[in-house]
């Protein structure tokens, strides 16, 4: 693989961007074939973990050992600033949809302000802006990494702490989804979650990003990656418990990224283009889908048509935007 370009990762970023579209439009909503649904869910749910791992991997490629060197921390800080700017820009872009959501829910002005600030700082999403939680989780994850590096903690230690926080997040999500027998402590935690972070997914990046950084410094044997991918994927298909599924998806995602990152493709102008294209599709598709279902159905709807229309139009928007950007601002790099 070229030292400066990771073309296989760029290709899979595009594939995973379409998987995110599939997740949000619930492509197989009308399918009654359980095994097909499980195979599909187990694959597309690797999308966001893949993006997290790729972010950590590519970031760490810019860093020199030992990671706690001041220049490394400065690089991470600069990356953090970029992500914060991106997060704020896309929140502004999605503000009209957030306002529409508050109107549909008949929220009072005061409640709308509270919900918006909660979504902005704690949850990472507003009405139909579901992809933005990835950026908020990345922001908190980078702060977490900077905090520990400043205290001269090793990447191994950071990853171990990330694993603990990831498992904590799964536990919090389990509690937020709990519908069993009334238990006072669970009710208290559910109430706190409903007022703050909603679920534990905000902790996801604190595991996946350090894991990607680990990959950049020490690759995993291809055979081990295949074992992780196949074992995680197959067991997840067979076991449909959603919270165990989160652990299995993490294993299959790590395996998949290890395999992808080991593949070398010859450099081409196509790969930088599709990398940029995947970013536009990832962030823009919710707007496309929202407009589509409103115009065609007048209510939120899912399925194959929503996926194909959203994917195609989002791709067209991405291509036109990038070509115009190349024409007026220089090459896409």
* Residues 48-107: tens digit of each pLDDT: 999 999 999 999 999 998 999 999 999 999 999 999 999 999 999 999 999 999 999 999
The answer to whether the CB of 124 falls within 8 A of the CB of 134 is yes
Model confidence band, residue 1 (pLDDT cutoffs 50, 70, 90): very low
> Closest Cα to residue 21, out of 327, 317, 329?
317
DSSP state, 123?
A: I
Q: Measure the CA–CA gap between 284 and 317, rounded to whole angstroms.
A: 9
Rounded to 5 degrees, what angle do the CA atoms 12, 17, 19 make?
Answer: 95
pLDDT at 313 over 90: yes
Q: Measure the CA–CA gap between 136 and 88, rounded to whole angstroms.
A: 10
Q: Measure the CA–CA gap between 158 and 146, rounded to whole angstroms.
A: 10
Q: Please tell me the pTM assigned to this model.
A: 0.94
Domain regions of the chain by residue span? 50-218
Q: Measure the CA–CA gap between 202 and 206, rounded to whole angstroms.
A: 8
Specify whether the backbone of 200 is left (phi greater than 0), alpha (psi in -120 to 50) or beta: alpha
> Closest Cα to residue 228, out of 205, 250, 204?
250
Q: Measure the CA–CA gap between 264 and 124, rounded to whole angstroms.
A: 34
Which of 93-107, 171-185, 269-283 has the least mean pLDDT? 171-185
* Residues 233-246: tens digit of each pLDDT: 999 999 878 889 99
User: DSSP readout, 102-119?
Assistant: HHHTT--HHHHHHHHHHI
Q: Measure the CA–CA gap between 149 and 160, rounded to whole angstroms.
A: 14
Predicted local confidence at residue 6, as pLDDT? 93
pLDDT at 33 over 80: yes
Q: Measure the CA–CA gap between 72 and 74, rounded to whole angstroms.
A: 5
- Residue corresponding to tokens 């990832």: 282
Q: Measure the CA–CA gap between 240 and 7, rounded to whole angstroms.
A: 34
Q: Measure the CA–CA gap between 98 and 115, rounded to whole angstroms.
A: 10
Q: Measure the CA–CA gap between 312 and 25, rounded to whole angstroms.
A: 13
Helix (H) / strand (E) element for 332: namely none
């Amino acid at each position: 693989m070229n030292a400066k370009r990771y073309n296989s990762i760029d290709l899979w970023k595009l594939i995973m961007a379409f998987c995110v579209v599939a997740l949000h439009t619930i492509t197989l909503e009308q399918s009654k074939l359980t095994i097909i649904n499980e195979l599909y869910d187990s694959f597309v749910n690797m999308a966001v973990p893949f993006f997290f791992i790729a972010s950590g991997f590519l970031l760490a490629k810019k860093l020199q050992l030992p990671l706690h060197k001041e220049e490394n921390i400065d690089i991470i800080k600069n990356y953090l600033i970029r992500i914060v700017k991106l997060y704020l820009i896309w929140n502004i872009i999605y503000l009209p949809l957030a306002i529409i959501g508050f109107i549909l829910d008949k929220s009072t002005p005061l409640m709308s302000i509270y919900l918006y600030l909660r979504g902005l700082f704690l949850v990472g999403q507003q009405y139909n802006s579901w992809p933005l939680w990835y950026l908020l989780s990345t922001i908190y994850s980078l702060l977490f990494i900077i905090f520990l590096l400043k205290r001269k903690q090793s990447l191994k230690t950071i990853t171990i702490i990330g694993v603990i926080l990831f498992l904590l997040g799964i536990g919090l999500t389990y509690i937020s989804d709990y519908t069993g027998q009334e238990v006072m402590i669970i009710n208290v935690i559910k109430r706190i979650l409903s007022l703050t972070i909603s679920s534990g997914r905000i902790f996801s990046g604190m595991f996946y990003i350090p894991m990607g950084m680990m990959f950049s410094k020490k690759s995993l044997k291809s055979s081990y990656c295949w074992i992780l991918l196949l074992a995680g994927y197959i067991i997840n298909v067979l076991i449909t418990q959603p919270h165990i599924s989160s652990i299995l998806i993490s294993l299959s995602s790590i395996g998949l990224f290890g395999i992808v990152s080991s593949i070398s493709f010859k450099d081409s102008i196509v790969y930088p283009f599709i990398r940029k294209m995947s970013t536009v599709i990832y962030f823009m598709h919710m707007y496309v889908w929202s407009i589509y279902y409103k115009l065609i159905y007048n209510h939120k709807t899912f399925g194959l048509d929503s996926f194909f229309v959203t994917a195609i139009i989002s791709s067209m928007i991405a291509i036109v935007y990038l070509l115009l950007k190349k024409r007026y601002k220089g090459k896409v790099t």
